[in-house]
Structure 1
């Protein structure tokens, strides 16, 4: 039962030396479409040493639905969040960070979704600002999502709506005791397994997840490998306690192998890290691969990540660096093949491919398999088998609103062309083509006011790379006819002007 007069939602915010960075969150809370009597914000000041406590106290003094709790410094968000759970009065709890912010209707839409579908957990669409967010999860609404039928495992941050009685019933709390990296993971994975219904709300961007420009988020510092991967093992323990050996467990384990392990030993991310730190990470990854993962975990990765996992499992750090130097040059390249505007719509055809160092990513034929070509020797063709990924390769076109960071997958028809004479033993590469018609009366539910940029998003063989297109669509009002800015023409005019100046 819900307490009479209780708020619909409690927003719990851990705060530590937030300073002016908290203002964007505060402003977004004060703009919510839920009334002040329908939600509360509970800020838990974790012993700040700057003016954060005073800022929050002044805020609470002028807004009855904002409360501030002051605790001794714990050094990490877990303790403040747990304190927030105990003091929250809302039917639902949302955990927000002090440097993120909400869209204006976020809390109302999340709560409506939770009530409509009687959900224990609701995940609202996120926009990333210097941070990654799960893209595939938000491709569509999902009103009965599970770890078996949806990519929930891609979303392990706690920035979600939870039924408070659900948290209390199952004793769901964040791990405390010092700086516990990945404190979200064990909490969220437990919630997914316990939840009677989980919903994903993808047709409205609810939450904006930001990386502070001064990199002073409490979790932004370089992690200590041994304790970090101890937290990975804790999350794996939760999965193991709730699954049997087999395809589901392998798929869930694969999320940590991909995100927390192989992705740290790839490309620019590896090359920019201190060498001794990379050695420690590689050793911890090797231990977990050998101790915890069944063969099916790495086998389900795309070929590039399989190669990284193989090299890490063998302790071949020098080869990992060689591969990282090559991968650092991988990027998406795209061009506009056709552009046809009409009254309120625009049809666009785009061609795109992946390249490294100016050369297309290549594949060679091996017993009717497409084998990824990499600049590292002594990796079995079976590990580099990209046949399934080549068949599933796709080109998405994504509209991104410049002002807010909202991203919308556009409906496309696409095809893939194999370039090169495979029968003659040539290395082939793939060129993808996609066509979409953007109707600005219905894009983003008709909420189109602003400037929209179009990106080509290429997914193949372990990469997902964005390539911005030189098009900007400007709508002066929701649903209005767009004004098209073709940056190719701007660039051509600029190039001509520079050429004339040089000739003079």
Structure 2
């Protein structure tokens, strides 16, 4: 164990653990690999009354690594108490919360602490990447931000607790995770309060610090196990925190809109609604209806993209049958993208990508009524102002993202964006978004380019953001090495041609073979 009288530690990593099994090994390995010396940080594992071999596994780790500590508590059934116990025992200047099935980048603690100490930050958010279908914030990590607030940055997009907090800041404001009922959204309630109290929040976007995973063994809580009454009681408490710190107006509306969109309306969309039990959907819809009516001013829903505005209207009007019809229609929507050109000159990569939203292979179009483009929907009696996509049709965009295979690192490539409003022969209109990339690939990911990078288009149109795989791979032998572009479309074309040639040659040879057999 590290002696309490030694120099103060820079970072305490707090990990709640319950029946972790082998899922914790990636985290342990990443802690052992940290570039920060082990004398400068500690890892505190709080075993929440595990019933498998987790307690013994953690005790063995602590015996092997002097900077690891293990605390055993009675089962609480939720991460809040283990995290709070970890904070109470932490000795670091900063505290980082990590889940037992996630892991850290090798330089995460060094880099996050460096930014925090340099800028005197109360909160530091490191770039995240998701694995196994786990979603993570995207727009927040478009660039480094050294004085981010809920007003000048999309902090509200990131409400999980997997961040670095100055311990004195946590203690000063008694920032802890809520225990007891309701348990849900405990991180939202703690983190949004931290944002609103923080004197300085920094966002590190040029290094992947946190790897967020989705377990494939049922270890993650699923939507149909969610108790709508408990969940939305917790959401109301998060809204209460915002209301206590932010005056009524555009900023409060924007913050409220985050929960309306992601925790409320997204549960009533597409496959997520259609595959859920009907009784559960009815409970969710009732909670959403009541919160919209009781808590949100008109500016909250008014700031949503068009399809969300329509859905919010249907939910508020208690039109659940129409909500389901909209979900069936929306399930068929897809983003599509096409590489129109690409070239590599030395280390400079250029490409142009066109993208659009389509349904059943045809672009999603809007009908022209007077001077407005109105979305054509499978439900009736929706006010025209809610279906108005005149501006939204040309406000979408397409980004080009490089994702490194293996590590999951994602970076936005610099793009110049344009949009074209295309009118079809039937008079309907749709949008085609284009992005042109020109980048010296040696500078991508701050020069850490070794490996194979998959390029994809991130299409945002009419309230949908969806990734579309592009047929381009960029391979770099080492960091900063000249890239090589692999065009999978050309490769498959050559492969099909080669197969056809072999088949034709085989067919030509058949008569001769038959003759020899005769």
The residue number in structure 2 matching 1:455 is: 456
Of 145, 149, 152, which aligns to 1:149? Answer: 152
The residue number in structure 2 matching 1:295 is: 298
- Taking a change above 3 Å as real, the CA distance of residues 492 and 184 of structure 1, as seen in their structure-2 partners, is same
Of 106, 110, 113, which aligns to 1:111? Answer: 113
| Alpha-carbon RMSD | 1.7
Question: How far apart are the structure 2 equivalents of 1:106 and 1:397?
Answer: 25
Answering whether residue 201 of structure 2 is matched by residue 230 of structure 1, we say no
Question: How far apart are the structure 1 equivalents of 2:218 and 2:375?
Answer: 37
Tell me if the contact between 2:48 and 2:77 (Cα under 8 Å) persists in the aligned partners. yes
Residues paired across the two proteins, number: 501
- Taking a change above 3 Å as real, the CA distance of residues 200 and 166 of structure 1, as seen in their structure-2 partners, is same
Equivalent position SS for 2:470: strand
Q: CA deviation at 1:276?
A: 1.3
Which whole-Å deviations, capped at 9, do the CAs of 1:238-297 have from their partners, x for residues lacking one?
011111111111111000000001111001111111111111111110010111110110
Tell me if the contact between 2:394 and 2:420 (Cα under 8 Å) persists in the aligned partners. no
Equivalent position SS for 1:212: coil
Which whole-Å deviations, capped at 9, do the CAs of 1:167-226 have from their partners, x for residues lacking one?
011011111115611110110011011111111111111101110111313577621111
Tell me if the contact between 1:127 and 1:208 (Cα under 8 Å) persists in the aligned partners. yes
Equivalent position SS for 1:326: helix
Equivalent position SS for 2:174: coil
- Taking a change above 3 Å as real, the CA distance of residues 220 and 75 of structure 1, as seen in their structure-2 partners, is farther
Answering whether residue 277 of structure 2 is matched by residue 249 of structure 1, we say no
Q: CA deviation at 1:425?
A: 7.2
TM-score by length of 2: 0.94
Unaligned runs of 5+ in 2: 508-518
Tell me if the contact between 1:74 and 1:178 (Cα under 8 Å) persists in the aligned partners. no
Question: How far apart are the structure 2 equivalents of 1:71 and 1:120?
Answer: 29
Q: CA deviation at 1:330?
A: 1.3
The residue number in structure 2 matching 1:469 is: 470
Equivalent position SS for 1:249: helix
Q: CA deviation at 1:466?
A: 1.1
Tell me if the contact between 1:75 and 1:178 (Cα under 8 Å) persists in the aligned partners. no
Structure number with greater Rg is 2
Question: How far apart are the structure 2 equivalents of 1:54 and 1:7?
Answer: 26
Question: How far apart are the structure 2 equivalents of 1:419 and 1:390?
Answer: 10
**Mean Cα deviation higher: 14-23 or 494-503:** 494-503
Equivalent position SS for 2:385: coil
Answering whether residue 128 of structure 2 is matched by residue 140 of structure 1, we say no
Of 392, 397, 402, which aligns to 1:399? Answer: 402
Which whole-Å deviations, capped at 9, do the CAs of 1:80-113 have from their partners, x for residues lacking one?
0000010000000000000001001000000000
Unaligned runs of 5+ in 1: none
- Aligned ranges for residues 27-176 of structure 1 at < 5 Å? 27-129=29-131, 130-176=133-179
**Mean Cα deviation higher: 25-34 or 175-184:** 175-184
- Taking a change above 3 Å as real, the CA distance of residues 211 and 433 of structure 1, as seen in their structure-2 partners, is same
Of 382, 386, 395, which aligns to 1:383? Answer: 386
Tell me if the contact between 1:46 and 1:73 (Cα under 8 Å) persists in the aligned partners. yes
The residue number in structure 1 matching 2:198 is: 195
**Mean Cα deviation higher: 314-323 or 361-370:** 361-370
Answering whether residue 425 of structure 2 is matched by residue 431 of structure 1, we say no
Question: How far apart are the structure 2 equivalents of 1:108 and 1:58?
Answer: 26
Equivalent position SS for 1:238: helix
Equivalent position SS for 2:312: helix
Q: CA deviation at 1:18?
A: 0.4
Tell me if the contact between 1:344 and 1:440 (Cα under 8 Å) persists in the aligned partners. yes
Equivalent position SS for 1:398: strand
The residue number in structure 2 matching 1:486 is: 487
Q: CA deviation at 1:384?
A: 1.5
Equivalent position SS for 2:39: coil
